Each structure stands twice: as structure tokens, then as C-alpha cells.
């Protein structure tokens, strides 16, 4: 899949290892970059859910049409699916929504 970002701040954290380490620490930065790589490698969101890659799961309620990937507990990488034929994952935020 292609990966896009909601804003420059989240893009910097997801694409720049130093920025991710500064914001979230070393372990979390490694997980963020691993999940972004998994998003890029996947053919579709449905494949990620079926294969349980990163414990990918759809969200409900006020986060309907969003998906989450596990990071370090309790944080999740939240993204939306754009497009039907060519899927694009737009990273929304990294948050503890619990």
C-alpha cells in the first residue's frame, strides 16, 4: 500500500528515526517504523486484518472507518483507508485511545 500522513508532524515522526526517538523513545520509535514498513509492504488493509499483522483491527464508535496497529502498550498507530483499487493508508495519529 501507499502511505500518506494527515500532517507534517506525524509524517516527521513516522519517517525520521531521530524525531521518533526524541518524541517517543527508542523502543516506541522502532515499533513505529516497523509498522510503517508493514503498511507499505501490505497489499490491502483486509490482508493485514486477516493475517493479524501488528494486530491490525478496525475501530468502532467515534473512530468508525479507522484502523489501529499496536505499538508499545497502550499506544496505537491510527490510520484510515483511502481508495478502493489502489489502497492508500493515511496515518492519522499515534495515541492511547483507551
Per-residue pLDDT of 69-84, as tens digits, reads: 999 999 999 999 998 7
Sign of CA dihedral 67, 8, 27, 95: negative
Q: How many Cα atoms within 13 Å fall on the side-chain side of residue 18? A: 0
| CATH class of the domain comprising 2-95 | alpha beta
Average pLDDT, the chain: 94
Burial of residue 21 (CB within 10 Å: 0-12, 13-18, 19+) is middle
pTM, two decimal places: 0.91
SS3 56: coil
What proportion of the chain, given as a percentage, has pLDDT over 90?
Answer: 92
- Which pLDDT score, from 0 to 100, does residue 98 have? 78
The pLDDT of residue 40 is above 80: yes
- pLDDT tens column, 59-69: 999 999 999 99
- For the chain, the structural domain boundaries read 2-95
Amino acid at each position: 500500500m501507499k502511505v500518506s500522513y494527515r500532517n507534517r508532524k506525524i509524517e516527521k515522526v513516522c519517517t525520521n528515526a531521530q524525531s521518533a526517538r526524541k518524541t517517543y523513545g527508542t523502543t516506541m520509535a522502532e515499533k513505529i517504523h516497523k509498522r510503517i514498513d508493514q503498511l507499505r509492504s501490505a497489499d490491502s488493509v483486509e490482508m493485514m486484518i486477516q493475517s493479524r499483522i501488528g494486530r491490525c483491527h478496525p475501530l468502532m464508535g467515534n473512530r468508525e472507518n479507522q484502523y489501529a496497529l499496536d505499538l508499545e502498550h497502550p499506544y496505537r498507530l491510527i490510520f484510515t483507508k483511502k481508495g478502493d483499487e489502489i489502497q492508500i493508508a493515511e496515518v492519522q495519529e499515534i495515541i492511547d485511545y483507551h
